[in-house]
Structures are given as C-alpha cells and as structure tokens.
A and B are shown apart, each in its own frame.
Chain A
Amino acid sequence: GAVVSQHPSRVICKSGTSVKIECRSLDFQATTMFWYRQFPKKSLMLMATSNEGSKATYEQGVEKDKFLINHASLTLSTLTVTSAHPEDSSFYICSAREGSVGYGYTFGSGTRLTVV
C-alpha cells in the first residue's frame, strides 16, 4: 500500500533557529500534500495544502512566512519552521494524496517539535 515517510520523528531546537521537516511519498506520486498541526489532546488542524510545482495554499491564520512549504517534486514536500519559538512546539503531520486514486490519503507518522 501507499507509504508516506516523515522525517525527523522528533526534533529539539533552540529558539530563533529554523527546522525543516520532510515528507516523502515512497511508492506513489503525490499530487497534493497537506500539512497539519496538532496540539496535545486536540484534533488535527490543517495548516496548508501544496500542489507540486506551485505555491502552497495556507489556511486562515497560518503565517506563510513562518511556515515555509516547498513541494518541488511529486514525492517530496518540506515544511520549514522559521525562527522557531516555544509556542511553535507541536506535533506536525503531513498527508499525501495521489491524484489518480480519487480521495486516497496517506499520512506520515508525524514530527514532534520541541523548541527550547
């Protein structure tokens, strides 16, 4: 079945630094990738949607300059948290959709970001 690899699974960084999270579709071409953020005991909140080769579409309230998304190929999307602060600490999850299979979504295993 479809597999999405998300890396790293955990990262600790200092305030003011930037962190990059990668999301790769291993056995299919991801027409669209989604990035979610999840706080403890809360639901997944969609941050942005990215289509290969075009700019990401951000949800209302998500700072595009803070959360940089790149979807340069059909198998890789990256989320960069720039100038991270402790309030950016969260669980980030990506999802990929293969355009040819209708609604098929595959989720990564998530990245736990802790900013100290």
Chain B
Amino acid sequence: DIVMTQSPDSLAVSLGERATINCKSSQSVLYSSNNKNYLGWFQQKPGQPPKLLIYWASTRESGVPDRFSGSGSGTDFTLTISSLQAEDVAVYYCQQYYSGSSFGQGTKLEIK
C-alpha cells in the first residue's frame, strides 16, 4: 500500500501571506505511460464533506480560485495558497489514486 505523509500537521499563516503544505508518498505515483502524477488535494471545512481542489498534482478543479496551486512529481508534492484568505481555513489532504487510493493524515490550516 502507498503511504502518504503530510507536513506540517498544522500551520498558522497571516492573512495575505503564503501557505505551503507538503506531501510525500512512499513510492512514486507518476505513471510513466502518460506522464501523469496520480495525486490530488482536498479541502475540508468543519462540518462539510471534502472538496477536490487539485488533480494530476497541478490541475485546478473548475471553480477553484487561482491562489491555489499544486506542484511536484514522483514522490514529493506541494500545495501552495499564494495569499491566504479567511475562507481558506480548513484541513487539507493529499491523496494518491495511482494504486487504489490513500490519503495523507491532513494538515490543519489556521489564521495567525
């Protein structure tokens, strides 16, 4: 099974500042035949189901603000929020869908 590990577990960032969340997979999630990374990012706000933000490691889902971006390849990935807004307070999860699926443990993002 592929294990996903996120860092940090929690993060406090000032409004308007950059937030960066890291995700590492125990094996590569890059599929060589199509050169795609099978890596997604989800946002979950309290009392709500998760929402898909990013797929293929760097493609934003329709309607997701462009302050959210994803990067990385192979085993190391990053979710960046370029200018934190109050509504971005949430728990963020990475997920691999290369082999079955598995989620990281989550990163709680708060306002400093």
User: Do the two shown chains form a genuine complex with each other?
Assistant: no
- By a beta-carbon cutoff of 8 Å, the part of chain A in contact with chain B is none
Footprint of A on B, CB under 8 Å? none
